[in-house]
Amino acid sequence: MSVETIEEQIAELDNVSFAKLRDWFIEFEHARWDKQIEADSNNGKLDFLINAALVEHQAGKSRDL
């Protein structure tokens, strides 16, 4: 199925069906993002963020929440 076919079918949805699809898609996208972040974290790709935060904290640039 092509993207164009999917777009055409989405354009034909009634408002209720479109809202259900939109809500499902948002949740689906968030789940994919969460999996990617977890994979990147497990592979050490985000270690630079941890290190930068630790450097700032040690330099006294952080505060209690």
29 vs 19: CA distance, rounded Å: 15
16 vs 22: CA distance, rounded Å: 10
pLDDT at 44 (0 to 100):
97
pLDDT at 37 (0 to 100):
97
52 vs 55: CA distance, rounded Å: 5
Mean pLDDT of 46-61: 96
Decide if 51 contacts 44 (C-beta within 8 A): no
- Give the type of residue at 46: L
Structure tokens of 49? Answer: 């963020």
Task: Give the contacts of 55 (CB within 8 A, at least 6 positions apart).
Answer: none
**Tens-place pLDDT, residues 12-49:** 999 999 999 999 999 999 999 999 999 999 999 999 99
pTM for the model stands at 0.68
pLDDT at 25 (0 to 100):
98
